[in-house]
Amino acid sequence: MEWQGSGASNIRCPVGENCSSNSNEFQHLSTSQLLHGASAESMALLCQRQQRCVKASIVSSWQLVEAQDQLCGLELHGSESVEQEHARTVASSAELSQIEQEWRLKESMLASGDPSRSPELCSDSSRDVFDKSIINVQSSINYMDQDKSKTFVQKHEPIVKHFGMLRRWDDSQRFLSEHPHLICEATANYLILWCFRLQAEEKEALMEQVAHQAVAMQFILEMASTSQQDPRGCFRQFFQKAKVSHHSMVLFDLY
């Protein structure tokens, strides 16, 4: 399956869930506040919200691909019921495409940096941390050195997968301390693409686990970018905030 779309623009909350339900709790947090003054609970809520949206993005994007494949398959068969089935499939594909366009609009509003145009946030002081840290697979991969990324995956795939299977903060921090070269965009991108393969195989529980680690990696990279540090030198800050209290761990589904 080839990824299409623009990452955050494809995110759709699952039925019955609302990715922005906690937006009021994040309105007052800037990226610098997150790094220097945010509570452990706020940190965990941010992680939880992003993990849920990443999962929703993967599911809705995969549904769109399946609808498009079904449409192509119908065009290869001739029967009396094809037209009716074709119409239903077109409607499904059109609906998913509309959802994708709506998220692209929201992403552009967030990227503008103008709080008054944000679909969810209206902080007078700063933009929400998610205007940068929402996982955007398409843009990340498009601007990566493809040869370098391929070489990285070939060389480090086993240990990247091992990191993707870790669940406890202590284990993740210890593993990255032993393998600091994994703290990079290539690792985050690989984990997200792995999520898509797992979704295609209907391994939802495993997909959620890998998405958990992909979100953690993206937060580490964002914190490093904001503080203008090497991510290999500041990743412990993320884990320190994440481990402050048991309540934070529960919110991020560690147990």
Q: Is 45 contained in some domain?
A: yes
- Residue 248 CA neighbour count, 13 Å, CB half: 19
Model confidence at 183, in pLDDT bands (50, 70, 90)?
Answer: very high
How many domains, in total, are found in the chain?
Answer: 1
For residue 54, the model assigns a pLDDT of 66
| Cα–Cα distance for residue pair 162/174, rounded to 1 Å | 12
Q: Is 2 contained in some domain?
A: no
For residue 157, the model assigns a pLDDT of 92
- Do 120 and 21 meet the contact criterion of CB atoms below 8 Å apart? no
- Phi-psi category of residue 75: left, alpha or beta, with phi > 0 → left and psi -120 to 50 → alpha: alpha
For residue 142, the model assigns a pLDDT of 53
Packing angle of the helix pair 146-165, 169-178 (nearest 10 deg)? 140
- Note down the domain range covering 193: 7-251
Report the CATH number that the domain containing residue 59 is assigned in CATH: 1.20.58.610
For residue 179, the model assigns a pLDDT of 93
Per-residue pLDDT tens for 74-106? 555 555 455 666 566 666 666 666 666 665 565
Helix (H) or strand (E) holding 53: helix 40-74
Q: Is the pTM of this model over 0.75?
A: no
Residue 35 has pLDDT above 50, yes or no: no
Which amino acid is located at 229 in the chain? Q
User: How do the residues of the chain divide into helix, strand and coil, expressed in percent and rounded to 5?
Assistant: 70, 0, 30
Among 208, 205, 232, smallest CA distance to 220 is for 232
Q: Is 1 contained in some domain?
A: no
